[in-house]
């Protein structure tokens, strides 16, 4: 939206019923005038993991750079910027146990970007201002600890996720799993329930000591249905009855 206000042409790719990028639609949107393709590595609400390697290939075939928002995925699933063809990657420290208010942008060597804050020469001239050393050190240490034994952590959390999905589908009628069944974040479960409001479920579960949400943290307090759930084809009344664990 910010770029549109500056006069750039922005094209939005659609998704299928699982939240996976529509490749045929994307190939029609990307042409030789495209400067950048940007896609979330994994969705924060429904947990679907995008096939980043395939998407970056489409971008590079047309000479465009590829950026991925890996905030939800970094240190939770393996990411290799070289194998996946990632030119730029953004992440946030608090999503993997680091301090709040600190993040990073990976920029492939050889790519030049305009600084969005000018003044001093900090961070190789890409962002002026006093460097947050404690935040940077804390984020780096959190990343180091999070990556230790990642495969084993993924296996254990995925087993808990799959157990929860199995029990919910077996024991609760009129429910629907949102997102891809297998290509999803290990720690994400998102269901829609018919004939009940998500907010009512949230309060009931909160009173029983169960932490859930009805959408993303960014949309906390909003009573509008999730745009993510609407994008995968859910009607408003079903989207309103969704819970994320």
CATH number at residue 96: 3.40.640.10
Q: What is the pLDDT of residues 11-64, one digit of tens each?
A: 999 999 999 999 999 999 999 999 999 999 999 999 999 999 999 999 999 999
Residues 142 and 159 in one domain: no
- E-strand stretches of 126-209: 175-177, 190-193
In the predicted model, is pLDDT for residue 219 greater than 70? no
Residue 62: CB atoms within 10 Å: 13
Residue at which a domain ends, from 125, 147, 169 = 147
Q: Which of 126-130, 133-137, 147-151, 201-205 has the lowest mean pLDDT?
A: 126-130
The total number of structural domains in the chain stands at 2
Residues 21 and 47 in one domain: yes
* Known catalytic membership, residue 218: yes
Range of the domain at 228: 150-244
185: domain CATH number is 3.90.1150.10
The pTM (predicted TM-score) of the whole model is 0.90
Asked whether the CA dihedral 221, 233, 180, 240 is positive or negative, the reply is positive
Q: Which residue has the tokens 């199995």?
A: 166
- Mean pLDDT in residue range 64-85: 98
**Residue from 75, 175, 211, 218 carrying the catalytic annotation:** 218
Q: What is the DSSP letter of 193?
A: E
Residue at which a domain ends, from 97, 119, 147 = 147
pLDDT of residue 65: 98
What size, in residues, is the chain? 245
Bin 113: left if φ > 0, else alpha if -120 < ψ < 50, else beta. Answer: beta
């Amino acid at each position: 939206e910010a770029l549109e206000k500056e006069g750039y042409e922005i094209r939005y790719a659609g998704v299928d019923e699982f939240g996976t990028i529509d490749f045929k639609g994307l190939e029609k949107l990307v042409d030789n005038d495209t400067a950048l393709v940007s896609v979330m590595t994994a969705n924060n609400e429904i947990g679907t993991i995008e096939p980043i390697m395939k998407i970056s290939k489409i971008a590079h075939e047309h000479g465009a750079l590829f950026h991925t928002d890996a905030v939800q995925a970094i240190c939770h699933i393996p990411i290799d910027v070289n194998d996946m063809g990632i030119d730029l990657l953004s992440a946030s420290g608090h999503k993997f146990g680091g301090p709040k208010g600190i993040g990073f942008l990976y920029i492939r060597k050889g790519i030049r970007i305009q600084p969005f804050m000018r003044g001093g020469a900090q961070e190789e001239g890409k962002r002026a201002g006093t460097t947050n050393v404690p935040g940077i050190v804390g984020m780096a240490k959190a990343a180091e600890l999070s990556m230790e034994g990642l495969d084993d952590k993924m296996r254990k959390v995925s087993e808990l996720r799959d157990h929860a999905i199995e029990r919910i589908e077996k024991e609760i009628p009129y429910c629907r799993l949102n997102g891809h069944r297998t290509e999803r974040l290990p720690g994400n479960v998102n269901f829609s329930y018919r004939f009940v409001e998500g907010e009512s479920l949230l309060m009931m579960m909160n009173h029983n000591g169960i932490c859930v949400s009805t959408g993303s943290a960014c949309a906390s307090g909003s009573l509008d249905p999730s745009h993510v759930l609407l994008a995968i084809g859910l009607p408003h009344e079903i989207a309103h009855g969704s819970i994320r664990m």
